[in-house]
Structure 1
């Protein structure tokens, strides 16, 4: 009704965020996707079970790859340099922190990717008639993903 107090509890907008890649803080990304964790289902039925169906138990947890997109800047090859350090089972692993910010610039939710390393870098497509910003894509794998509320 008119005159009642407004509810101040609103969902957070997703456009204001910061990304820290190990020793590189506040890297300006355009998009972050793939923040997901999945647990595999283990189905089991004992041979002497009187119930003719399986039971389902949690199995191994799996963290998906995270995709980050950003504009290409002149003389900025940090991602390519990081990717080029990959050797057989040796790579510089980093902690990646993704922060969703409120209107004051304070973190409200924080995703932490532990032991992250690049698995794929994709350069921009080139068009002679295009007028878009050149965007590169970085896909990283990590061992664990934690979520915290600030």
Structure 2
């Protein structure tokens, strides 16, 4: 049976804003903290390692700027007196038939950084904006059934 490779360019982001199209999503990472321990009575001159807490990377969302769409900026500005609007975010990778293949679910997210475009007078590139969010959990679901090439 041949392995079917999945393209990474066809995806949607459900983040609570109006637009779901993005140019790039990066930072879907998690790691287990390693805790080094050594018993005081141990004669071994090395440490034992045990798993600690899960750590999640911040996730960056980049999209083209569109006139009248301030959703990124509005979300980061919900911060007030130690609170901020938290949302769950879903990133769905789609196949060429627009069917969902993989779903990443980020729990209890809030924005930590907004970056507007770099403006260059002699460039024809589109203006983009980036929102970086932090979150408290990452779940991954494979949604594809039997794919046929």
Deviations 1:41-65 (A, max 9, x none): 1001111224332110011111110
Q: Which protein is bigger by CA-based radius of gyration?
A: 1
Residues in 2 aligned to 1:66 and 1:95: alpha-carbon distance in whole angstroms: 13
Task: Please list every run of 5 or more consecutive structure 1 residues that lacks an aligned counterpart in the other structure.
Answer: 1-6
The 8 Å contact of residues 18 and 26 in structure 1, kept in 2 or not, is answered as no
Query: Structure 1 residue 88: deviation in Å?
Result: 2.5
Counterpart of 2:90 (choices 71, 89, 97) is 97
1:122 counterpart residue number: 115
1:32 counterpart residue number: 25
Query: Structure 1 residue 39: deviation in Å?
Result: 1.2
Matched, 1:19 2:13: yes
1:3 counterpart residue number: none
Equivalent residue pairs, number: 143
Deviations 1:76-128 (A, max 9, x none): 10111111111132111001000111121111111001111111110001111
Moved beyond 6 Å, runs of 4+: none
Q: Given the superposition, is the C-alpha separation of residues 110 and 26 from structure 1 closer, same or farther in structure 2, using an over 3 Å criterion?
A: farther
Residues in 1 aligned to 2:101 and 2:51: alpha-carbon distance in whole angstroms: 30
Counterpart of 1:54 (choices 33, 47, 55) is 47
**RMSD over equivalenced CA pairs, Å:** 1.3
